[in-house]
């Protein structure tokens, strides 16, 4: 007699048709990224009064910083599109195109971000190293993800691209963390920072540089393992 058995389906589709309101994170993801882009990027389009920008030594420095910001902006938009399940399910062609654009843009963006990290005038070395490692990991995770898709290893490709997106999005989280740290450290203004708001702000910046990309990377790992629960289906044994 036929026995119903439970088997695992490793090829279960990653994105079943689920309405967007059942994925409540997609709205805040877009909203926070859009806010960041509208708030921070326009200042770096065209050479302006340096007082409006992060401190820069010369025009070449400006080109490197604004280059990483423009390319970073495109990669952030692609990143949001790639993570949008509705787009992935309903417009796979758009998903493929934005995926290619993302990889193409991250390559120069991460290299420029690496130089930006060590050229920064206001970030202390402890923060420069944190940014330098972030830029390197961003490049490596994207290259590894790209290599996997070229070799047809789609599950590995997906995992590495999620890591790459987490690192890209960490730049937005960084700006949120910096405010949280500044408020959190403020009771120490007189006792530890000797009344210097600059010292407190620098410390908050370094803390947020390190913790933002570590936090988004750890979150991505948790998210992937949480979703890796095998789907079960009832099959009939022959
Ligand atoms: C993930 C790797 C990245 C690293 C390591 C990085 C590094 C840096 C550094 C070190 C600065 C400060 C420059 C200075 O003090 O001279 C900076 C500024 C900036 N970056 Fe990035 N960046 C990265 C990605 C991105 C992305 C994806 C965007 C998206 C648009 C972006 C947008 C900006 C903006 C707007 C500024 C100017 C500061 C501000 O107004 O917030 N960055 N970045």
The secondary structure of 165-210 as a DSSP string is HHHHHHHHHHHHHHHHHHHHHGGGTTTTTTT-HHHHHHHHHHHHHH
Q: Which atom of ligand 1 is nearest to the CA of 131?
A: 5
Transcribe 107-165 into DSSP letters. HHHHHHHHHHHHH-SSS-HHHHHHHHHHHHHHHHHHHHHHHHHHTT-HHHHHHHHHHHH
**Residues 220 and 168: beta-carbon distance below 8 Å:** no
Residues 180 and 24: their CA atoms lie apart, in Å, by 24
- Please enumerate in sequence order all residues whose Cβ is within 8 A of that of 116, keeping only pairs 6 or more positions apart, or say none: 64, 65, 68, 131, 135
Return the pLDDT at 56: 83
Return the pLDDT at 238: 34
Return the pLDDT at 13: 43
Ligand 1 and 65: CB distance under 6 A: yes
Ligand 1 and 214: CB distance under 6 A: no
Residues 207 and 227: their CA atoms lie apart, in Å, by 30
Q: Which atom of ligand 1 is nearest to the CA of 65?
A: 13
Helices 154-185 & 59-82 angle (0-180, nearest 10): 120
> Atom 32 (ligand 1): residue with closest C-alpha?
69
Return the pLDDT at 40: 83
> Atom 27 (ligand 1): residue with closest C-alpha?
72
Ligand 1 and 68: CB distance under 6 A: yes
Ligand 1 and 73: CB distance under 6 A: yes
Residues 155 and 11: their CA atoms lie apart, in Å, by 9
Ligand 1 and 75: CB distance under 6 A: yes
Contacts 24+ apart (CB under 8 A), 90-96: none
Cα(85) to centroid(ligand 1), Å: 27
Ligand 1 probe mutation, 29, 43, 69, most atoms within 8 A of CB: 69
Return the pLDDT at 9: 33
Return the pLDDT at 5: 36
Q: Quote the domain boundaries for residue 67.
A: 4-236
Ordered per-residue pLDDT tens for the chain, 238 residues: 333 333 333 333 444 566 656 667 788 889 999 999 998 888 888 766 655 567 888 889 989 999 999 999 999 999 999 988 888 889 999 999 999 999 999 999 999 999 999 999 999 999 999 999 999 999 999 999 999 999 999 999 999 999 999 999 999 999 999 999 999 999 999 999 999 999 999 999 999 999 999 999 999 999 998 855 555 554 443 3
**Residues 236 and 4: beta-carbon distance below 8 Å:** yes
Cα(35) to centroid(ligand 1), Å: 15
What b/e sequence results for 38-54 when a residue is b if at least 16 CB atoms lie within 10 Å of its CB, and e otherwise? eeeeeebeeeeeeeeeb
Return the pLDDT at 2: 38
Return the pLDDT at 11: 38
Number of domains in the chain: 1
């Amino acid at each position: 007699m036929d026995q119903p058995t439970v088997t695992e389906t490793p090829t279960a589709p990653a994105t079943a048709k689920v309405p967007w309101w059942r994925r409540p994170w997609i709205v805040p993801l877009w909203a926070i990224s859009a806010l960041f882009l509208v708030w921070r990027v326009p200042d770096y389009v065209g050479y302006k009064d340096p007082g409006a920008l992060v401190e820069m030594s010369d025009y070449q420095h400006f080109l490197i910083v604004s280059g990483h910001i423009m390319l970073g902006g495109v990669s952030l938009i692609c990143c949001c599109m790639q993570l949008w399940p509705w787009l992935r399910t309903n417009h796979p062609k758009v998903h493929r195109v934005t995926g290619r654009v993302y990889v193409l843009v991250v390559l120069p963006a991460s290299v420029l971000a690496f130089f930006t990290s060590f050229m920064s005038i206001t970030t202390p070395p402890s923060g420069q190293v944190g940014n330098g490692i972030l830029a390197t990991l961003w490049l490596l995770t994207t290259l590894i993800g790209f290599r996997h898709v070229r070799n047809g290893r789609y599950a590995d490709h997906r995992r590495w691209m999620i890591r790459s997106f987490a690192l890209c999005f960490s730049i937005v989280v960084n700006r949120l963390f910096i405010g949280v740290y500044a408020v959190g450290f403020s009771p120490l203004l007189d006792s530890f920072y000797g009344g210097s708001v600059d010292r407190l702000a620098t410390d908050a910046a370094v803390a947020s540089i390190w913790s933002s990309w570590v936090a988004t990377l750890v979150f991505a790992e948790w998210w992937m393992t949480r979703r890796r629960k095998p789907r079960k289906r009832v099959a009939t044994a022959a």
